Amino acid sequence: MAVKWKTPQLAPNEAEGESAEGLLGMIAGKPYLAGDKYVDRVRDSMVEPLWQANQERDMAKRMVIFRKHIEFREGPRKRAFIAAPFTCEYGFNISFGDDSFCGPNCTFLDVCPIWIGDRTMIGANTQLYTPQHPIMPEERDGLNGAEWAKPITIGNDCWIGGGAIILAGVTIGDGCTVGAGSVVTKDVEPRCVVVGNPARVIKRLPEAVKNGNVE
């Protein structure tokens, strides 16, 4: 699946003694320190607008706030919706497609980019986790150890059932359905239905037929 990624805005500007190197490495999936001063400040800068958006009861007004911090790709239907409450870390690492929907209580840990396709619907309480940590406890070393992340890509025309968990590095192809409560640990081919923990394919959908031709 070809994903065109928009370079995120890196705000706020660096202060004295800070460097964006850690943040750029983080976005690229390289090891970085989560306690880096600049990374901390960028992450904290999303807390207030996220709180404001989640307090807004009117969907249209809420989306005005979200659109200042999260990418929404324009398409013919010109609409996308995020129900409240919604949780993320950075915002600029998330890209929603046209006519997409995200249900309430979803958590997107967007240390690396998260890309959601057009006409894709995400059920309540879904969790997308891009961060990864060392398995060896000596390497984790509490908050002192480096961590990294891998991007998550969900294709067009997908339905992610409520309470599903999508782990780091996973790509879900176009036209897939993920059953409620499933834990997706590896890539899913297009037009598949997956369920369970770990999620497994239980059905493959045929290609759509229109006017006698397979699309």
Burial class (CB within 10 angstroms; exposed 0-12, middle 13-18, buried 19+) of 208: exposed
CB distance 22 to 36 below 8 Å: yes
Which residues form the catalytic set?
133
Residues facing 159 on adjacent strands = 121, 177
Q: Say which amino acid occupies 160.
A: I
Q: Would you call 63 helix, strand, or coil by DSSP?
A: helix
State the Cα–Cα distance between residues 7 and 183, nearest whole angstrom. 29
Overall pTM surpassing 0.85 (yes/no): yes
Condensed to tens digits (0 to 9), the pLDDT of residues 82-110 reads 999 999 999 999 999 999 999 999 999 99
Condensed to tens digits (0 to 9), the pLDDT of residues 192-202 reads 999 999 999 99
Model confidence band, residue 4 (pLDDT cutoffs 50, 70, 90): very low
Angle at the Cα of 9 from the Cα atoms of 7 and 13, rounded to 5 degrees: 140
As a whole number, mean pLDDT of residues 27-55 equals 94
Identify how many contiguous H helices and E strands the chain contains and give both numbers: 5, 21
State the Cα–Cα distance between residues 156 and 100, nearest whole angstrom. 9
Residue with tokens 């409520």: 162
Residues facing 32 on adjacent strands = 147
> Is the predicted pLDDT of residue 1 greater than 60, yes or no?
no
CATH superfamily, domain 21-214, is Hexapeptide repeat proteins (2.160.10.10)
State the Cα–Cα distance between residues 38 and 56, nearest whole angstrom. 29
Condensed to tens digits (0 to 9), the pLDDT of residues 166-179 reads 999 999 999 999 99
